[in-house]
Structure 1
Amino acid sequence: MKKIKITALAGVFAILAGAASSANAEERIAYKSAKSGTSYYQMGVELANAVKAGTDGAAILTVEESQGSVQNVMEAAARPGNYVFTAPPGLVSSAAAGTGPFAKRPNPRFADIRALFPIPSLTMHFVVAGGSDAKNLADLQGKTILLGKGSFGATEGEKYLDLFGLKDKVTVADAELGNAADALKNGQIEGFVTAGSFPAPNVIEAAAGGSIALLSLDDDQVEKTGRSRQVIPAGTYAGVDVDTVTTSLPVFAFATTAMSEDTAYLLTKTFWEEKAELSGESRWWKAVDPELLGEGEVKLHPGALRYYEEAGVSVPAALK
C-alpha cells in the first residue's frame, strides 16, 4: 500500500512539473541584424524588447551581431526554423535566383525565404559642412568628400557620382566612415555620404559638432538611380530646416518556411501592435508603415499574410 501511494504521488508531481514547464515555455527566436553599434543593431534590441513586452514574455528575440546582409541571407540556408534576419528584398531575390553575391554559392533553401514586415529603410544622406550654399548634388563639385568603404552607402554614393558626372570633379578622402563627423568638424573633408535609417547617428553627431546641410536630388535624378524616393523631414537634424529629397533602399525582416505559421503570425502581429511604442522610443520607426509592403519583392510568410488579411492591410498580389 505504501509503495502504491508513493508511485501515485510521483505521478502527480510529474504532471504538475509538466504543467509548470508548459506554462513557462517560451518561443525563442534568433534575430540576425547588423554590426553592434549601428542603428540597425539598436533597432534589433528595441524590437526584441517590444516583442517580449507585447507577448508578455511568450516570445523572446535574441539579437545576434552580423557582418552584413549577405551573411544574414547565407545563414538562412543552414539555420533552424526560428531564424529571423534583416536584408533588402532585392538581395533575397538575388539569392533565390543564384545571382549577384550568391552566383558562386547557390542553395535551394534560399527559395524558402519569406518576408515578415518592413523595417526602416536604408536612406542616402549627402552631408556637407554648413555655411555653404550647397543644396544639390552638383554642389559637390570641387569638394573633398568621404564615402567610406565596403558599405551600401559607399557603393551607392560612388554610383551616384558616376551617374551624375561628378566622379572626376570631387576628391574622395581615403578614410573610414566612422571618422566622418570629426573629419568634417576639423575641416579635413567638406562632406560625406552615408546610408542608414534616419535620424542616422553619424549625421546627428556631425550636426552637433557644427552646422551641416543635406543635399537634395530632383525627381529626374531619383528616377535615374532606380531607387525609391524618400523625404527626410525638416527638423530631423539640427539646423536642417527644409525637407530633403533623397533615395532609399527598403529593408525587411525575413524568416523561412521552416518557421511555423503561428510563430510568424505572432511576430508580425506583435511588431505592428507595438510600432507606436517603438516610434515613441526612436524616431526611425515612424517612417515604417504598411505601404512599404509595396517595396517588397519576396512572398510573405503564410503566418504574416494571415495577419495582414485579418488586419485588412492591402497586400500586393506578388507577395501572396
Structure 2
Amino acid sequence: MNALRQTICAALALGLVGGAASAETRVTYKSAKSGSSYYQMGVELAEAMKAGSGGDISVTVEESQGSVQNVMEVRARGADYVFTTPPSLVGLAQNGKAMFEGKTAPAFDEIRALFPIPSLTMHFVMSQDSGATALADLEGKSILLGKGSFGATEGAKYLDMFGLANSVEIADAELSNAVAALKNGQIDGFVTAGSFPAPNVVEAAASTPVTVVPLSDEQITQSKRTRIVIPAGTYAGQEQDVTTTSLPVAAFTTTKMDDETAYQLTKTYWENKAKMADTSPWWGNVTPELMANITTELHPGALRYYEEAGIATETSQ
C-alpha cells in the first residue's frame, strides 16, 4: 500500500512539474475597433505569437474604442495586459496633460514599451485628372475627409495649417465611400491615415489613376509629426517615393508583467515579423529604426532582447 501511494505521489509530482514546464503564457492584446487595420494586425500578431512560440504564448485580441481607452484601462488590468497606442499618448497620460488632465493615476507611471508596430501614415490621395502633385494643388478641389478618425482630424488640421481650409470643398460623405466617389468623379481626392499599403488606397489605385501627394520637408516640420517615406511601387502607378507624416504606434505593457514574458513576447515578435510581412506587407515597414520613435521606458524583459539582438535603444528607454 505504501509503495502504491509513493508511486501515485511520484506520478502526480511529475505531472505537476511537467504541467508547470509547459504552462501556456496567456496575454490579452487590446487593439482597435474590429474591422480596422489595427485590429487585423492584432489578429495576425496573435497567430504569429502562437506559431513562433510553438503554442507557448496564447494571445487573445480585444476590441477597443481607441488608444485613450487602451491607456486608461492600465489602471484596472493585470500582468497579462498588452495594448497599442502612440508613444506620445503615454507621455500625455504620465504628465496628466490634454485628454488625461485631471485623470492621472500611479499606474500610468508603470507603463513600459515592448516593440513598435506599423505607423499611422497620412495619405493625400488625388485623382490624376485633378492634376494635383503637391498640397497647394488641393486649392479649389473637392476632398473627402471622413469623420471621427485620426486621418479626418489630421487632414482638417493640415488644410487649416497650410492655408487651404477656405479654398477646399469638403465632401459630406463617409470615408468608406471614398473609392467609389473618386472613381465616379464625385470627388477629386480623399485623405486617409493607415499603415501602408493602406487597403483603401490600394483599391483606389487599382480602379483609377491616382497620385499620392507628398508633403515637403518644411510642411512636415511644421506639422510636428514624424517624417516617413512610402516607397515607390507601394501603390499602382506610384513611380517615386512619397514623403509624408506619420504617427508612430507601439505595443506596451506595465511593470506588472514579469521580465521573462516581456522578453519572450518581444523576441517572438521580431523573429516572426518577416513571416507576417509575407502575408501582410505593412509588417515589412517595421524596422529597428522605428525604435527611436518610442519615448517611453522599455520593459526590462524587452530591453534584454534588444541588447542580445544588438538593436540600438535610446538612453531614455
Both proteins in one fold, TM over 0.5? yes
**Match in the other structure for 1:174:** 172
Structure 1 unmatched runs, 5+: none
Q: Tell whether the 8 Å contact from 2:130 to 2:188 is kept in structure 1 after alignment.
A: no
The superposition leaves residues 154-198 of structure 1 with CA deviations (integer Å, 9 ceiling, x where unpaired) of 111111001100000101122221221122122222111111100
SS in structure 2 opposite 1:76?
helix
**Match in the other structure for 1:207:** 205
**Match in the other structure for 1:188:** 186
The amino acid that maps onto 1:307 is Y
The amino acid that maps onto 1:241 is E
**Match in the other structure for 1:45:** 43
**Match in the other structure for 2:121:** 123
SS in structure 2 opposite 1:148?
coil
Q: Report which stretch shifted further, 195-204 or 99-108.
A: 99-108
In the TM superposition, 1:83-102 aligns within 5 A as 83-102=81-100
SS in structure 2 opposite 1:131?
helix
Alignment pair present for 1:289 and 2:287: yes
The amino acid that maps onto 2:199 is P
The amino acid that maps onto 1:112 is E
The superposition leaves residues 199-223 of structure 1 with CA deviations (integer Å, 9 ceiling, x where unpaired) of 0011112122222111111111111
2: CA distance between counterparts of 1:116 and 1:192? 34
**Match in the other structure for 1:32:** 30
2: CA distance between counterparts of 1:200 and 1:307? 30
The superposition leaves residues 207-243 of structure 1 with CA deviations (integer Å, 9 ceiling, x where unpaired) of 2222211111111111111111111111111122221
| Change over 3 Å in CA distance of 1:314–1:23 after alignment to 2 | closer
The amino acid that maps onto 1:138 is A
CA offset at residue 79 of structure 1?
0.8
CA offset at residue 14 of structure 1?
2.2
**Match in the other structure for 2:158:** 160
**Match in the other structure for 1:137:** 135
Q: Between the two proteins, what is the percent identity of the paired residues?
A: 59
Alignment pair present for 1:107 and 2:132: no
1: CA distance between counterparts of 2:100 and 2:175? 27
**Match in the other structure for 2:20:** 22
TM-score norm. by structure 2 comes to 0.96
Q: Report which stretch shifted further, 157-166 or 287-296.
A: 287-296
The superposition leaves residues 74-129 of structure 1 with CA deviations (integer Å, 9 ceiling, x where unpaired) of 11111111111111000010011111111132212111101111111110000112
SS in structure 2 opposite 1:135?
coil
1: CA distance between counterparts of 2:267 and 2:21? 22
Q: Tell whether the 8 Å contact from 2:119 to 2:248 is kept in structure 1 after alignment.
A: yes
The superposition leaves residues 20-68 of structure 1 with CA deviations (integer Å, 9 ceiling, x where unpaired) of 4224410000111111122111111111111111111111111111111
2: CA distance between counterparts of 1:15 and 1:240? 63
**Match in the other structure for 1:80:** 78
CA offset at residue 295 of structure 1?
1.1
How much is the aligned-residue C-alpha RMSD, in angstroms? 1.4
1:315 to 300, 313, 316: 313
SS in structure 1 opposite 2:130?
coil
SS in structure 1 opposite 2:316?
helix
SS in structure 2 opposite 1:63?
strand
1:241 to 220, 230, 239: 239
Runs (4 or more) in structure 1 with deviation over 3 Å come to 4-10
SS in structure 1 opposite 2:221?
helix
TM-score norm. by structure 1 comes to 0.95
The amino acid that maps onto 2:303 is L
CA offset at residue 19 of structure 1?
3.5
2: CA distance between counterparts of 1:230 and 1:101? 26
SS in structure 1 opposite 2:75?
coil
CA offset at residue 6 of structure 1?
4.9
2: CA distance between counterparts of 1:67 and 1:209? 31
SS in structure 1 opposite 2:297?
coil
1: CA distance between counterparts of 2:100 and 2:179? 34
How many residues are aligned here?
317
1: CA distance between counterparts of 2:304 and 2:17? 30
CA offset at residue 249 of structure 1?
1.0
Structure 2 unmatched runs, 5+: none
